[in-house]
Amino acid sequence: MTTTTPVPAGTIRRIVELATRAPSVHNTQPWRWVAHGHVLELYADHWRGLPVADPTGRDLTVSCGAALHQASVASAALGWSPTVTRLPDPSDPDLLARVELTPAPPPADAADLLEAIDARCTDRRRFTSWPVPDERLARLAQVATQAGTRAVPLTDVSERFRADRIVLQATERYRSDQAMTTEQQAWRDRSLVDGIPSTVVPRRTGSVGAPERFADGDLDDRDEHAVEGSDGLVVIFDVQDDPAAWLRAGEGLSALWLAAMAGGLSVVPLSQVVEVPESRRAFQIEVLGGLAHPLILARIGWQAIGRSELVRTPRRAVDDVLEIA
Ligand SMILES: Cc1cc2nc3c(=O)[nH]c(=O)nc-3n(C[C@H](O)[C@H](O)[C@H](O)COP(=O)(O)O)c2cc1C
């Protein structure tokens, strides 16, 4: 017989609060949590999806995967070891994961992990011109792979050139697609609890830097030293293009992100290339050799030291995303 220890409600709330700090596409926060006893369940909330850009729910599930990873890291750091079962009920595809919690001593770096989850943010300001060493990118891809997905850094010059071209094409296709831009715009300055505030979106002049999805905000981003192509690029992919692979991709993205932060690096996800069907196919064939599906890209670079702190993007209240049964 196995005995279980119920998790105090305050701890459950703290775990979910930290999980909701996870990145999500357009800050849609497409998740719902249900807690009972020592079990925490993660559900996809399709009402918060993007029917135009993400009709299959790929970005949505990647976002939930990131929240699942942050919930797992937070649980362990708070003294509860998580055992995760992904997609545990074939008759309920919205139930993405069941996390069983058992008491366990927290890891030595628990305080750092909790701080990293809380501090993580998408900083779209230009990276400095310091290149990210290939070994660092390879190590971060390995961290994502250890989280159960697959990832490679695009360090080969011609491979990177092809990837950049396809990302640029995706950005242009997006801009010329009225339905996609309208949907994206609907999540800008959306509310006090979700969406992307203009205060975290750079105001750009000129064309230096990566092809920008968001470049018309209020955030000052002057940097005369910016050069093109100083960032690293890691692609998270899988041979499958299904919810199990998407969930793992989100977990990998979050693991990579926290590891990057620990090394002083900044991460910006790029998903347009995956959202635009022609670009996704081009990336699959021209960059991944036709064998695998790109699920999310991560731009990685160094932010200038001493830059102003970003305003934190808002989140829904814990009571809105958590039901304690
Ligand atoms: C699946 C996914 C796709 C994303 N796509 C992009 C993107 O294409 N461009 C971008 O600048 N940020 C992208 N983001 C970052 C989100 O916009 C960001 O996480 C969200 O606005 C919350 O802000 P925060 O990360 O600062 O907490 C993506 C995040 C996720 C999880």
Q: How confident is the model at residue 13 (pLDDT cuts 50, 70, 90)?
A: very high
**Beta strand pairing call for 31-36 and 293-301:** unpaired
Q: How far is the CA of 36 from the centre of ligand 1 (A)?
A: 30
* Local structure of 161: helix, strand or coil: helix
Shared-domain flag, residues 148 and 108: no
167 pLDDT more than 70 = yes
Q: How confident is the model at residue 279 (pLDDT cuts 50, 70, 90)?
A: very high
Shared-domain flag, residues 142 and 291: yes
For 282-292, how does the pLDDT look when each residue is reduced to its tens digit (9 = 90+)?
999 999 999 89
Q: How far is the CA of 85 from the centre of ligand 1 (A)?
A: 25
Closest residue CA from atom 18 of ligand 1 = 23
Q: Is residue 306 part of a domain?
A: no
2 pLDDT more than 70 = no
143 pLDDT more than 80 = yes
The domain containing residue 192 runs over which residues? 134-301
* Local structure of 135: helix, strand or coil: helix
Shared-domain flag, residues 49 and 78: yes
Q: Is residue 291 part of a domain?
A: yes
Q: How confident is the model at residue 205 (pLDDT cuts 50, 70, 90)?
A: low
Shared-domain flag, residues 265 and 222: yes
pLDDT at residue 219, as a whole number: 82
Q: How far is the CA of 27 from the centre of ligand 1 (A)?
A: 7
pLDDT at residue 250, as a whole number: 99
Shared-domain flag, residues 55 and 153: no
Shared-domain flag, residues 106 and 175: no
**C-beta of 64 in contact with ligand 1 (< 6 A):** no
**C-beta of 59 in contact with ligand 1 (< 6 A):** yes
pLDDT at residue 227, as a whole number: 42
Q: How confident is the model at residue 305 (pLDDT cuts 50, 70, 90)?
A: confident
**C-beta of 122 in contact with ligand 1 (< 6 A):** yes
ipTM over 0.90? The verdict is yes
Q: How far apart are CA 266 and CA 233, in angstroms?
A: 12
pLDDT at residue 215, as a whole number: 72
| Mutate-to-test residue for ligand 1 from 17, 20, 21, 26, highest number of ligand atoms within 8 A of CB | 26
pLDDT at residue 316, as a whole number: 98
> What's the CA angle centered on 273, arms 313 and 292, to 5 degrees?
120
Q: Pseudo-torsion of CA 283, 292, 245, 214, nearest 10°?
A: -10
Shared-domain flag, residues 215 and 272: yes
Shared-domain flag, residues 188 and 245: yes
How does DSSP classify residue 49?
S
Q: How confident is the model at residue 230 (pLDDT cuts 50, 70, 90)?
A: confident
Q: Is residue 206 part of a domain?
A: yes
Q: How far is the CA of 269 from the centre of ligand 1 (A)?
A: 6
Q: Is residue 226 part of a domain?
A: yes
205 or 312, which is more confident? 312
Mean pLDDT of the chain: 93
Give the full edge-to-edge strand order of the sheet including 266-270.
150-153, 232-238, 293-301, 266-270
User: Cα separations (Å) of 185 from 3, 13, 23, 195?
Assistant: 50, 31, 18, 10
Q: How many domains does the chain have?
A: 2
Q: Is residue 1 part of a domain?
A: no
Looking at residue 244, which CATH number applies to its domain? Answer: 3.40.109.10
115 or 230, which is more confident? 115
User: Cα separations (Å) of 213 from 36, 117, 123, 224?
Assistant: 40, 24, 13, 21
Stretch 238-254: mean pLDDT: 98
Q: How far apart are CA 52 and CA 252, in angstroms?
A: 25
pLDDT at residue 208, as a whole number: 45
In the chain, what percentage of residues exceed pLDDT 70?
94
Shared-domain flag, residues 162 and 286: yes
Stretch 237-265: mean pLDDT: 97
Q: How far is the CA of 26 from the centre of ligand 1 (A)?
A: 6
Closest residue CA from atom 4 of ligand 1 = 25
Q: How confident is the model at residue 304 (pLDDT cuts 50, 70, 90)?
A: confident
Shared-domain flag, residues 183 and 272: yes
Q: Is residue 262 part of a domain?
A: yes
Closest residue CA from atom 9 of ligand 1 = 270
Stretch 305-311: mean pLDDT: 86
For 56-96, how does the pLDDT look when each residue is reduced to its tens digit (9 = 90+)?
999 999 999 999 999 999 999 999 999 999 999 999 999 99
pLDDT at residue 10, as a whole number: 97
* Contact in structure between 303 and 123 (CB atoms under 8 Å): yes
Q: How far apart are CA 254 and CA 24, in angstroms?
A: 10
Shared-domain flag, residues 90 and 199: no
**C-beta of 272 in contact with ligand 1 (< 6 A):** yes
For 34-53, how does the pLDDT look when each residue is reduced to its tens digit (9 = 90+)?
999 999 999 999 999 999 99
Give residue 90's identity as a one-letter amino acid code. P
Stretch 220-246: mean pLDDT: 81
Q: Is residue 307 part of a domain?
A: no
pLDDT at residue 242, as a whole number: 98
Shared-domain flag, residues 139 and 112: no
Q: Per this entry, what is the length of the chain? A: 325
